[in-house]
Structure 1
Amino acid sequence: MASHNPAVKILETVRVSPFTNSPTHFSLTLTSLDAMVLKFPPVETLLFYQLTASTLLRFNSEILPKLIHSLSLTLQHYLPLAGKLTWPPHAHLPIISYAPHDAVSFLVAEANLDFNRLSADDIRESPESRCLVPELLSSDEVASIMALQITLFPNQGFCIGITTHHAVVDGSTAIAFMKSWAYLCTQLVVGKQHPSLLPELIPFFDRRVLEDLTGFKASNIFEFKQRSLKLKDDLGVKNNSVRATLKLSHEDIKNLKEKILSKLQEKIPTKQLNLSTFVVTYAYVLVCLVKARQMEDNKNVNFLFQVDCRSRLDPLLLANYFGNCILARDASVKASVFKEENGVTNIAEKINDMVRDISEKGPLDGVVDRCKRIQNIVEAGEEFIRIGGSTRFKFYGVDYGWGKPKKVEIISIDKTGAFTMLETGDGNGVEIGKVLSRHEMETFKSLLVSGLQDP
């Protein structure tokens, strides 16, 4: 069930099974890359669709039936999402299994809430959106892999809440599923009776390919202290907080690049640099966050970003590989460095070197030592500033047939402490989503805006 809110009424719970011609049984063993995020809180995503003609009658007669039927059609290609995670006694790692009568839980709800306020960028209490995303069931013995919720805001629009198990689905797989579901639903909306999925959207399930390419085992990195599939509630972040979305336009990012390049060329005239939007945005947001949170100068700021390895392995792994194919790159820098006059320049140089290192040495270089270091930092109770999402995912292109999303939010950053980096809905820049205390958020927002105006 979603978090309780008296203004949200659950109308029904539908169990959506894969379409009838699906195989009887299906199973996959988790890979080492899957197992590394086995205990992580699930990823919770909200997509808001504005549709003023969304009466309850139209919702029940047109929108909901097409969403459910297209979901069933999609699940026949994405069988693991309808299954569950178990851990057989003889198995070193958990197993994804699908059997007859397995299905995805699909909550149908109606909200007496302000759609425009919940889908806006403004600062608001973080827990307010929790009633729009379903919970993922997990226990020691079994865990659900995906749960869905559609919430109608009468005469305003609707939102789709998608909760996925991180050990089964990484960002690339999640967006591929969303695009597949949206494509088939759109085909139904335009009147096609028996739509088929585009070949490039059909997932690739062969785990042996990834294991052969990576060549390391989860047992080389960490040991599971108990055979439990119970998920963590959070990664130790504060819950009494607010969330907001801030934007950097292409022009803002262009100006930041020029400032950083100018200062770097003064510092190292011979150094060749080609700063990406990712590098510049990440560095700028990190500096603003460290200042907003008033971190002590001698404290280490641990930060990391995930690298999608699909296009970086040799040979390349298919882009439609189903599962986790991400590895983290991390760094620890004293907070005082972020606060220096050239803090953004220094951090951008550091991140740019990390990105270049991946290109030159490959994503697997030093992977075991790196994973152990990250694990040790986490076990010592230190925090990582993480990134969720990616501008490459193109969430704002997920159209189910009634228009593109007005707003996309990764809600689970209140549990992980990450900030999100997505493309803007109008394609003119980058959206930054973050959860902080109210004071920190107001300071963060002020720093982000004022820093763009500095000469």
Structure 2
Amino acid sequence: MAPTPPHLVTVLEQFHVAPTPAPAVGQPRALPLTFFDLVFWSIPPVQRLFFYDNADLLDVSDFTLGELARFRNSLAAALHHFYPLAGKLTCEAEVVFSDGDSVPLTVAFSDDDFRDLAGDHARDTTRLRALPKHGGSRPQQGVLAVQITVFPRAGICIGTTVHHAVADGASYTHFLSTWVAAQDVPPLFDRGVVRDDAGLREAFPRDNRTLGKAGGDERLDCWDLSRRPGAVLVTFRFTERQLRALGRRVESETSARCSPNALACGAAWAGRGSGMDGGTAPDAHFGFVTGCKPRASPPIPANYFGNCLGLCRVHAKRWELTAAAASAAIWRAIEGLAEAGSVFRGSRGWVHWVREYASARAVTVAGSPKLGVYAAADFGRAWGRPRKVEIASGERTGALALAESGRDGDGGI
């Protein structure tokens, strides 16, 4: 792919948005990370980009004099409920909020081609790196950062960066829907709802330290595509009709009656099974996460804020990795989760699994169509639904980013 000429992204203003009003006096100011959170302690922050059309936006002043105040006020109001996002992630594995803490908000301008950036075709990932405000993956840093980039006569891009050790996709979309629509379902911060009979809260920090000293963080770099020249981001759309046809084919070849998610992931895994490591290893690896709130005993409330994901692994011989075989293998792993407690059986090894899969350059998944990010990011009459949502941090983890098929809600992926 020919090098893309550089495009200018200029920072215009920087603000600090504090929860407004401040959280109530009785709200906990320090939230200890659970073992679910600590699995993602060393994973790069999750960076999402939301592209909104607005051809009437003639220049940056149209936004700063019009929409910016409403944008800041709605963010501050959402942070009143989700105030830990304005706090700090500490070395003691806690999220701590102190009076005066805030979320950095950057307003920028870009002369890049908005519609091209928000397209489905191959785009140079370097063009997307300046759109979210970058954050490191180390502690003692802010949890959330927001950037809004104005593309005159085209639209805007909202970029968010959030530490994965603080919130999973469900908690993030809960915050997002509160931000854009002022929903009134408050988050639950009570860590007592997460049972830890196996003592993983104490074991996982030791694993992170031990593996880090043994080169574990370097193994995580194996996933980092930003270290390779010519990395591009491409979107593939599976329509509902295509998924039904693929499902019939998979069933005829394997007898497995797969879910749409398993079909889309299987096709993508087969397509990328030899791409991450050059196809030299005999085995291909696929990793995904599953929601554990209903699978915990007792179940964890749906509005619980934090990570609540279990890690799942699938292996296949590389020469057998067709779309049908890959889909069937993923579906059988999903079916196995129906047995009570099955997702937790290998939980003691979750921190190790992350490094092992990074070393093997396994194909993994970020996001899910079930999160409904397009609906959660609907700003109503102001901007509507985004024309495109991207997980830009997939460049760092090499992950497939899954979502529902956009604004049309046609049942695809």
TM-score by length of 1: 0.80
Structure 1 counterpart of 2:119: 120
Deviation at 1:45, TM superposition (A): 0.1
Deviation at 1:220, TM superposition (A): 3.5
C-alpha distance 363-80 of structure 1, shift in aligned 2 (>3 A): farther
Say whether the 8 Å CA contact 1:40–1:232 is kept in structure 2. Answer: no
Cα separation, 2, equivalents of 1:409 and 1:174: 14
| Amino acid corresponding to residue 344 of structure 1 in structure 2 | A
Deviations 1:341-361 (A, max 9, x none): xx2332222212211111123
| Amino acid corresponding to residue 414 of structure 1 in structure 2 | E
Which of residues 79, 93, 106 is equivalent to 1:75?
79
Cα separation, 2, equivalents of 1:249 and 1:227: 42
Structure 1 counterpart of 2:254: 264
Structure 1 counterpart of 2:153: 155
Say whether the 8 Å CA contact 1:36–1:218 is kept in structure 2. Answer: no
Say whether the 8 Å CA contact 1:283–1:344 is kept in structure 2. Answer: yes
| Amino acid corresponding to residue 94 of structure 1 in structure 2 | A
Secondary structure at the aligned position of 1:12 is classed as strand
C-alpha distance 252-154 of structure 1, shift in aligned 2 (>3 A): same
| Amino acid corresponding to residue 305 of structure 1 in structure 2 | F
Cα separation, 1, equivalents of 2:360 and 2:193: 35
Moved more, 400-409 or 68-77: 400-409
Cα separation, 2, equivalents of 1:372 and 1:45: 24
Deviation at 1:121, TM superposition (A): 0.8
Structure 2 counterpart of 1:420: 401
Deviation at 1:312, TM superposition (A): 2.0
Deviations 1:360-379 (A, max 9, x none): 23354413354266156248
Deviation at 1:203, TM superposition (A): 0.7
C-alpha distance 158-282 of structure 1, shift in aligned 2 (>3 A): same
Say whether the 8 Å CA contact 1:313–1:363 is kept in structure 2. Answer: no
Say whether the 8 Å CA contact 1:295–1:335 is kept in structure 2. Answer: no
**Number of residues paired by the alignment?**
392
Deviation at 1:129, TM superposition (A): 0.6
Aligned-pair identity in percent equals 27
C-alpha distance 373-224 of structure 1, shift in aligned 2 (>3 A): closer
Structure 2 counterpart of 1:22: 23
Deviation at 1:22, TM superposition (A): 2.1
C-alpha distance 347-226 of structure 1, shift in aligned 2 (>3 A): closer
Which of residues 289, 292, 298 is equivalent to 1:306?
289
Within 5 Å, which residues of 2 pair with 1:74-223?
Answer: 74-87=78-91, 93-137=92-136, 142-184=140-182, 197-199=183-185, 202-212=186-196, 215-221=198-204, 222-223=206-207
Cα separation, 1, equivalents of 2:101 and 2:77: 15
Q: Within the alignment, does 1:330 sit opposite 2:313 as a pair?
A: yes
Deviation at 1:328, TM superposition (A): 0.7
Secondary structure at the aligned position of 1:336 is classed as helix
C-alpha distance 376-249 of structure 1, shift in aligned 2 (>3 A): closer
Say whether the 8 Å CA contact 1:134–1:163 is kept in structure 2. Answer: yes
Q: Within the alignment, does 1:404 sit opposite 2:389 as a pair?
A: no
Say whether the 8 Å CA contact 1:138–1:144 is kept in structure 2. Answer: no
Deviation at 1:137, TM superposition (A): 4.8
Deviation at 1:115, TM superposition (A): 0.8
Structure 2 counterpart of 1:238: 225
Within 5 Å, which residues of 2 pair with 1:340-351?
Answer: 343-351=322-330
Structure 2 counterpart of 1:90: none
Structure 2 counterpart of 1:383: 361
Say whether the 8 Å CA contact 2:200–2:348 is kept in structure 1. Answer: no
Deviation at 1:114, TM superposition (A): 1.1
Secondary structure at the aligned position of 1:96 is classed as strand
Q: Which runs of 5+ in 2 are unaligned?
A: 1-5
Cα separation, 2, equivalents of 1:114 and 1:70: 28
Deviations 1:155-176 (A, max 9, x none): 2111100000000011111111
Deviations 1:210-252 (A, max 9, x none): 135x644144455342899xx9796323322111111111111
Cα separation, 2, equivalents of 1:135 and 1:407: 20
Say whether the 8 Å CA contact 1:248–1:429 is kept in structure 2. Answer: no
Deviation at 1:330, TM superposition (A): 0.4
Structure 2 counterpart of 1:248: 238
| Amino acid corresponding to residue 346 of structure 1 in structure 2 | A
Cα separation, 2, equivalents of 1:178 and 1:26: 21
C-alpha distance 375-275 of structure 1, shift in aligned 2 (>3 A): closer
| Amino acid corresponding to residue 47 of structure 1 in structure 2 | F
Cα separation, 1, equivalents of 2:211 and 2:178: 34
Secondary structure at the aligned position of 1:52 is classed as coil
| Amino acid corresponding to residue 383 of structure 1 in structure 2 | R
Q: Within the alignment, does 1:395 sit opposite 2:373 as a pair?
A: yes
Deviation at 1:138, TM superposition (A): 5.8
Cα separation, 2, equivalents of 1:219 and 1:109: 42
Secondary structure at the aligned position of 2:338 is classed as helix
Report the structure number with the largest CA radius of gyration: 1
Q: Within the alignment, does 1:65 sit opposite 2:69 as a pair?
A: yes
Cα separation, 2, equivalents of 1:277 and 1:60: 42
Cα separation, 2, equivalents of 1:77 and 1:223: 33
Say whether the 8 Å CA contact 1:297–1:335 is kept in structure 2. Answer: no
Deviation at 1:39, TM superposition (A): 1.0
Secondary structure at the aligned position of 2:195 is classed as helix
Q: Runs of 4+ in structure 1 displaced over 4 angstroms? A: 231-234, 291-295
C-alpha distance 50-30 of structure 1, shift in aligned 2 (>3 A): same
Say whether the 8 Å CA contact 2:295–2:340 is kept in structure 1. Answer: no
TM-score by length of 2: 0.88
Structure 2 counterpart of 1:446: none
